[in-house]
Chains A and B, each alone.
Chain A
Amino acid sequence: MTTHAVSTKSAKRVVAVDRFLTFIRIFLVTMIVIGLLAFIWQQIDADNVFARWRNPGARGLTGDQFKGLLISGLSQGSMYGLIALGYSMVYGVLGFINFAHGEVFMVGAMTGFIASDKFAANGLWESNFLLCLALIMLMAIFFSTFTAILMERVAYRALRNSPRLIPLITSIGVSFFIQNLVLGLFGPATKSYPRLPEWLADQRSILTFEIAGTRILVLVVAAVSMAGLWYIVERTKTGKAMRAVAEDKEIASLMGIDVNRTIVTTFAVGGAMAGVGGILWGLMFRSVTHMTGFLPGVKAFTAAVVGGIGNLGGAMAGGISLGSAESLAPLLILEPLGVPGVSQLKDAVAFTVLVLVLLFKPTGLFGERLSSEDRA
C-alpha cells in the first residue's frame, strides 16, 4: 500500500516538472513566432497595428541590411564551425567536453598577432601579403596543434578512465591556466593586427551581396579546411582509425589500432582547425586578448551541440546556423518584440539557442555520433 502511494506521488511530481518544461517550450516558441510575424508584418506594411504592437518605432530592415547581417552571420558562423570541429571530434573520441579548446583557438589568434606584427614591422606584410598570410597560418596551426597535444599529454591522458565530470573539470582548469599564462606572458593590452591590404579589405559585390573581401577569405578558407578534414576523416586510414576509436576504444585496440596515437591525432587535427579559426578571427576582427578564446569557445561548443555532437558535418552546419541566428535573431525576433538595445543580447541569444536545442532535440539537428557508452 505505502509503496504504491509513494510511487503515485512521485509520478505526479515528475509530471509537474514536465508541465513546467512544456510551458517553457510553448512560451519560447510563442515568443519566437510573435517576433517573426511582427517582423514580417513590418516588412510588408510598417504602419500595421500588429507590427507596431510591441515596438511602435520599428521600421524593419532593408534588403541590403538583411544581406549584410546574413553574410556577417555566415562568416562568423563558419569560424564557430571550425572551432566546433575540435569539440566534436574530441567528444566523439573521448566523450568529454574539452573546455580548453577555446584557448587553443586563442593561442592561434595570438600567434597570428605576434607573427603579423613582426612582419608588419619589417615591411613584409605590405610587400608580400600572401606569403605572410601563409606563414602566419602555418605558425598558428603549429602552435595551436602543439598546445592541444601538450594538453592531452599532460592533463587528459591520465584521466581517460575516470568518471565523466573529472576530465571536464580538469579542462576548465587547463583553460584557466592557459588564459592566465598568456596574460602573464603577453600582458593584458588588447592587441591589434596590422592593417590588411586594401585589395583584400575592400567591399565587393557578388550576386548582389556586398561582401568585404575579408569575409570572402574567411568563407573560402573555412570551406577548404572543412573539405580537407572531411577527406582525412572519411578517406584516409587515420580517419578510419579515428572513427573506430570513437566507436569502441577497446575493440579498436584489438584490431591493431594504436589508440593513444589516434587520440593524439584527433587532438592535433582539432587544434589545427582551431588555429586556422584563430587566424581568420584575427583577420576579421583585428584584435585579440587573452580572453578571446572564452566566448567563441563556449559558442562553438553550442554549435557542436546544435549540429549533433560527434557529427563533423553537423558541427560545421551548427556553427553556420548559430552564427546566423546570433546575427539575425536580435533584429528579427527581439527588436519587433520591443526589446531595446538588442545588439547587447547577441551572446544571450547564442546561449538561448543552446537551451532551445537541448529542450527540443537534445541529439542536435543532425544527430549524434557517439559510442553507445557515451550516449548514456
Chain B
Amino acid sequence: MSTMTATMPSSALDQDWRRVLRWGLICGGVLIALCLVGMPVELDRRELIERYLSLGYVSVLMIPILIGRIAATQVVLEGVESRKQGLYDLVTGLAVGILGGVSLSVLIVALDSWNLRDPLVNWSPKLFRFLTYENGIGFGLMAWIVTCGLLGMMGAASHVVPAMVRRVSGIVVLSLLGISVLEGAIEDLSEGFRLEWLTDLLYAKKGGLTLTSAILAGAAIAVVAVLTSGRVKALTTSYREKEGADRQKASIILFVVVAVLVIVLPIFLGKIMNELLANVGLFLLLALGLNIVVGLAGLLDLGYVAFFAVGGYTTAVLTSPNSPFFAPEMHFGFALIFVVIFAIVVGLVIGAPVIRMRGDYLAIVTLGFGEIIRLLFLSDWLGPYFGGAQGITNIPGVDLGFATVKGTDPRSVFYLVLFFCAIAIYVSWRLQASRLGRSWMAIREDEQVAETMGINTVNSKLMAFVVGAVMAAFSGAVLAAKVGSIFPTSFMILISIIILVVVIVGGMGNIAGVMVGSFVLIGVLGGPKQPGLLQEFQNFKLLIYGMLLVFMMLKRPEGLVPSARRSRELHQDEFLQDAWLKGDKPGTDDDDGETVGDDGGEEE
C-alpha cells in the first residue's frame, strides 16, 4: 500500500509539498472547527497556570503539536533503510504549523469582518477576543502564525531529539497538565489527608498553579523522571514476561494493592469525589456486563440499556411506595431476587429472536429493542403500571440494618456498587477461562468453526445475553436506589453507546481494560448526565466520545489494555508478516503506533 522508497531528499527544503499542504490544511481545519464548536472560549474560564495559561489555550495549542508530530512521522518499513530524521522533519513541522496558524488568522479576519452568528452559535466577539488575546487584530495574526509554526516544529522535534529528552519533557508536560487540570480532585484528596498546606502552596487562590509552583513542580518531576528512567519500563516488562506461578503471584499482589486502595480511598474523599466514584462504579458494572456480550461473545448489543432499564424499573416498582399500580414496598434485598429473574427473562426474550441473525443485523435489532422498551415505559399504555413520563419517584434507599445506602450519602452508594462490581469481576474472571467463556471466544472468532467443533452456539450466545443482562440489571437496581427516582429518559440509547465506547477504549474482552476504560472515560470525562473530573468538558464529552471511538477503531482496535488473545486476532496479518520477516515463530511484540500511523503513502 505504501509507495515509500529509499530515495533521500537532497536538502531540507526539498519537501513533499503536497503532503505538507495536506497536513497543514488538516491542521487548520481542526483548529477552525475547534474554535467554532466553542471549546476554547468555554474552557478559557479554567486557568491552569495563573494569568499565563488557560485550558482553552491548551486545547488550541496542542493541535499543531500533535499534527506536527504526525506529519513528521516516517513510515518505517522492515528491510528498507530509513532516513535519519533531522532538519528536514523540523521544516515539515514548521510548515504544517504555519499553515495551521494562517488558517486561524483567516478565521480572525473573518470574525472581524462578518457576522455569521446566525447559523454558527459560537461566532462571537468572545471568540475574537480570545483569539487576539485582547491585543488587536495585527497582534493576533502574527502571534498565531508564529506560535503555531513553532509548536508544529516542536511536535516534529519529538522525532528528532534524543529519546531521553523526549521522554522527560513528555512526562513533565503531561504531569503538569494533570496536576493543574485535576486541581479539584487533588484538593479534595489532600483535604482528606490533612495536607491542605501542600495545595495552598501549589495552587493560586482563584484556581490554577502559580507560575513559580509550576516551574518548581516541573523541575521536581523532571528530576524524578530522570532518576526513574528505565525502571518503570523494566518493571512492566518483567511483569509481562513472567509466566505461570510467578505471573499469578505478581497479579495477585497488584490486585490486592488496587483493592485496598479502592476500599480505603473513599474514606478520605469528599462528597463530590465519592459521587464520582459511585458513578464510575455504576458504569463499570454495566461495562463488565457488556464486556461479556460484546467482548467475549462478540455480539454487538446496542440495546444494552434495556436491561439497565429493567433492573431500574423492577427495583422501583417493588420498593417504592409511589409505584402507581403495584407497590409491595419490598426490601431492596428481596427486590434483587426479582431483578435477577426479570433480567433473565428479558435477556432470553430479547436474545432468542436475535441469536441467529448476522452480527450487524443483531446490532440494529437490539438497538430497536432498546428503543421499544424505553417507548413502552414512556407510553400511555403501560403508564398506569410504570408511571409513564412522570416515572416512579420516592424509591427508598437500601436499609442494611446498620446503615442506609442513599443518594445523599455517596460514600455508602460507592461501597454498595463496589460490592456488585466485585461480584461481577469475580464472575467475569471465572467465566473467562471456563468452558463457557472459551466457547464464547470461539464463537466470536468464527461461529461456523465453533459450531463444527461441537459448541452449542445458540445456548452459549443466550448465556452471554443472560449474564450481561443480569449485570446491567444490578446496575439499574443500584441506580434506582441511589437516585431515588426513575424516568424513561434515564434510559436513552446514548447510554448503550457510551458503555460501548468504555468497553472498546478500555479493551474488549479484558476485565482490567474495562476497569481502566470506565475510570478514564466516566471518571475523567463523565457519563451521559454525570459530570466527571473535567466538568468543563461537559458540553464536549460526547464529541470526544465519538472521536475516541473512531480513533480507537482505526489505530488500536484492541483498546488501551488489550486482551492478549484478542489483539493477536486483530493483528493476525501483522503477526504473520513479522514472523515471515524474522523467519521465526510468530512474534510477541506489539507495534507501538510509532512505525505505523501514517496514511500518507497510500494516495497515489
Chain A residues within 8 Å of B, Cβ to Cβ: 3, 6-7, 10, 13-14, 17, 20-21, 24, 96-97, 114, 117-118, 154-155, 158-159, 162-170, 172-181, 183-187, 294, 298, 301-302, 305, 339-341, 344-345, 347-348, 350-352, 354-355, 358-359, 362, 376
Contact = CB atoms under 8 A, between A and B. Distances in A.
Given A177-B543, A186-B119, A172 B500 contact: yes
Majority SS at the chain B contact face: helix
Nearest to B355: A17
Sorted from nearest, which 3 A-B pairs have the closest CB atoms? A173-B549, A341-B380, A177-B546
B360 interface: yes
B352 A21 contact: yes
Contacts of B379: 341, 344-345, 348
B360 A97 contact: yes
A24 B38 CA distance: 50
B36 A185 contact: yes
A187 B459 CA distance: 47
- Among B36, B372, B459, B493, max chain A CB count under 10 A is at B372
- Among A7, A17, A20, A96, max chain B CB count under 10 A is at A17
A82 B549 CA distance: 28
Nearest to B379: A344
Nearest to A299: B368
B119 A114 contact: yes
A147 to B, nearest CB: 13
Contact of B37 (A155, A163, A184): A184
Given A21-B352, A345-B381, A181 B543 contact: yes
Contact of B459 (A13, A164, A348): A13
B360 A168 contact: yes
B542 to A, nearest CB: 5
Contacts of B369: 351, 355
B542 A176 contact: yes
Given A10-B459, A177-B543, A340 B121 contact: no
Contacts of B448: 376
B106 interface: no
Contacts of A352: 368, 372
A170 B554 contact: yes
B571 to A, nearest CB: 10
A168 B368 contact: no
29 contacts: A13-B458, A17-B458, A155-B550, A164-B360, A165-B360, A167-B553, A168-B363, A172-B497, A173-B546, A173-B549, A174-B550, A177-B550, A179-B542, A184-B37, A184-B39, A185-B121, A186-B121, A298-B371, A302-B364, A344-B380, A345-B381, A347-B371, A351-B368, A352-B368, A354-B364, A354-B365, A355-B368, A358-B353, A358-B361
B353 A355 contact: yes
Contacts of A351: 365, 368-369, 371-372
Contact of B553 (A14, A166, A345): A166
B540 A184 contact: yes
Given A21-B353, A181-B37, A358-B354, 20 more contacts: A3-B454, A6-B454, A20-B348, A114-B119, A155-B554, A168-B363, A170-B554, A173-B548, A176-B497, A176-B546, A180-B540, A184-B540, A185-B119, A186-B121, A294-B493, A298-B368, A341-B379, A348-B371, A351-B369, A354-B364
A173 B380 contact: no
A325 to B, nearest CB: 14
Nearest to B364: A301
A184 B550 CA distance: 18
A274 to B, nearest CB: 17
B298 interface: yes
Contacts of B458: 13-14, 17
Contacts of B298: 165
A46 to B, nearest CB: 22
